[in-house]
Amino acid sequence: MTNRYYLWTVGCQMNKADSEKLAAGFERMGLKATDRIERADIVVLNTCSVRQHAEDRAYSKLGRIRDLKRTKPDMKVVVMGCMVGLKTDDLEKRFPQVDVFARPQQFAPIIELIDGPAEDLGGEFWPTTYAIPEGPTAYVPVVHGCNKFCTYCIVPYRRGREKSRAMDEIVREVAYLTAQGVREVTLLGQTVEAYGHDLAEQPDLGDLMRELSALDRLERIRFLTSYPKDMTHRILSAVAELPKVMECFSLPVQAGSDAVLESMRRGYTRQEFVDKIAEVRRLMPGAGITTDIIVGYPGETEADFEATVDLLEELRFDKVHVAAYSPRPGTIAWRKMPDDVPADVKAARLHRIEEVEARIAEEINQHYVGTVQEILIEGVRKEQPFGRTRTGKLVHLDAPARIGSLVDVTIGHAGAFSLRGAVEDSLALV
């Protein structure tokens, strides 16, 4: 009998959302969570393949599970997520300790493994099961998959083509979440502005935001990850017009050199990206904008790299997520492009981006000092409440505040990674 589950998750917010949904499904079927793997009747590893490091962590877990299964042969083991492709023969040979390999959002074989109710599912979005919220914020996937096929990325091969959820289904889920105390939802997609193009009425992300804005108990709507070419003027106008939608963008550029962007098949030039950011800032001055950068992509010269640094100086992002390129088996870059930038050069470039960005972020954050910002209190860490500004800045508070409350905070201190402030409205204090 399957009583306890152990669920381990790495990777992006989409993986986290998938795990939360699976956990909610397990709980509804009477299973209880455990954080001790040796006590579990079923172990699920929700994996990520975007970087080698994430895969290595899953391999190390699988080694431990192999040993554990010798003493606990009835324990069921599932590997799900981006490590699982269409064909699983190699994985099956390599990891005989695993009972089921499930692709992202492929919940059915996992439920089957524990003899759960087959009629409970209903497709990859599992519309009858909502994640159990853990606080005032929640992730809500709205479009799965990706059609873009950037050369370095494994996501389209593992998560398949873009597929949008019906709008009424999303609205129902968000209404349910708000009834459970959620005040802010983050709408998720690998390229979230692709939402709706595959639905009969072809709504766009702006239409979805309008529908959700009508929910009384919902205070805030965020969205990620953006893809420059899908980000239309119509969607940007909706973000600017709707007060519940946060002016906060996660917009990966990946490189500042046209040669590298073309080689990556990102689908835009440096100038087109610069123009997109200009449009965002014209409609929403002061919008928070973060980006992603890959350094050491095949063929990246010193001049290409300097073009990336120059772009960061020009556009001044609030935050940069930087990673050194690592070839992912199965991608176009892995098949066709030699990984020719030496590891020490990649490390030096990564470090330089971090240094440049830390300075820029701190300069931007200093402008917040003395301003009053609307913060949603998300939780408490080390006895200090924390939350985020509309633009996505992390703020720590000096005094207690009620989790889930929306408060005005005067910012007194700013560093590169977070702000600190005091609540204006004493009613929010506990």
Separation CA 409–CA 395 (nearest Å): 9
Query: What minimum distance in Å lies between the beta carbon of 355 and ligand SF4?
Result: 25
Phi, psi of 210 (to 5 degrees): -65, -45
Cα–Cα distance, 281 to 181 (Å, whole number): 32
Which of the ranges 63-71, 130-138, 145-153, 351-359 carries the binding residues for ligand SF4, by CB under 6 A?
145-153
Place of tokens 């074989």: 109
Q: Applying CB under 6 A, does 263 fall inside the site for ligand SF4?
A: no
If one asks whether residue 82 binds ligand SF4 (CB under 6 A), the answer comes out as: no
**Of 159 and 349, CB closest to ligand SF4:** 159
CB of residue 154 to ligand SF4, shortest distance in Å: 8
150 binds ligand SF4 (CB under 6 A): yes
Asked whether position 16 contacts ligand SF4 by CB under 6 A, the answer is no
> Does 146 contact ligand SF4 by CB under 6 A?
yes
Residue 189 vs 404, nearer CB to ligand SF4: 189
Please report whether residue 149 would count as binding ligand SF4 according to CB under 6 A: yes
Instruction: Identify the bridge partners of residue 377 per DSSP, sorted by sequence position.
Output: 387
List the interface residues with ligand SF4, window 172-191 (CB under 6 A).
190-191
Minimum separation from the CB atom of position 152 to ligand SF4 (A): 7
Indicate the pairing of strand 137-144 with strand 4-9: unpaired
Contact in structure between 393 and 318 (CB atoms under 8 Å): yes
In contact, 394 and 361? CB cutoff 8 Å: no
| Angle at 27 (CA atoms; ends 50, 405), nearest 5 degrees | 75
Choose the binding region for ligand SF4 from 97-105, 147-155, 300-308, 368-376 (rule: CB under 6 A): 147-155
Copy the structure tokens of residue 413.
């201190």
- By C-beta, is 249 or 368 nearer to ligand SF4? 249
| Backbone phi and psi for residue 113, each to the nearest 5 degrees, phi listed first | -60, -30
Phi, psi at 340, each rounded to 5°: -100, 5
Q: In the stretch 156-175, what mask flags binding to ligand SF4 with x, by CB under 6 A?
A: x-------------------
Query: With respect to ligand SF4, which residue has the nearer C-beta, 138 or 155?
Result: 155
Q: N- to C-terminal Cα distance for the chain?
A: 45
- Smallest distance, ligand SF4 to C-beta of residue 73, A: 39
Nearer to ligand SF4, 40 or 192 (CB): 192
Contact 229, 267 (CB under 8 A): yes
Q: How far is the CB of 61 from ligand SF4 (least distance, A)?
A: 24
DSSP-derived 3-state class of residue 151? coil
54 touches ligand SF4 by CB under 6 A: no
Count CB atoms within 10 A of the CB of residue 327: 15
* Whether the bond into 191 is cis, omega within 30 of 0: no
Q: How far is the CB of 92 from ligand SF4 (least distance, A)?
A: 26
As measured in angstroms, the least distance from the Cβ of 155 to ligand SF4 is 4
Site membership for ligand SF4, residue 153 (CB under 6 A): yes
Closest separation between CB of residue 252 and ligand SF4, Å?
Answer: 7
Quick one: which of 114, 77, 118 has its CA closest to 1?
114
Angle at the Cα of 289 from the Cα atoms of 326 and 372, rounded to 5 degrees: 140
* Min separation Cβ 54 and ligand SF4, Å: 15
CB of 367 to ligand SF4, least distance (A): 31
Q: Quick check: 392 and 186 in contact, CB under 8 A?
A: no
What interhelical angle do 270-283 and 233-241 show, nearest 10? 30
**Mask of contacts with ligand SF4, 192-231, x by CB under 6 A?**
-----------------------------------x----
Q: What is the DSSP letter of 256?
A: S
Residues that bind ligand SF4 (CB under 6 A): 146, 148-150, 153, 155-156, 190-191, 227
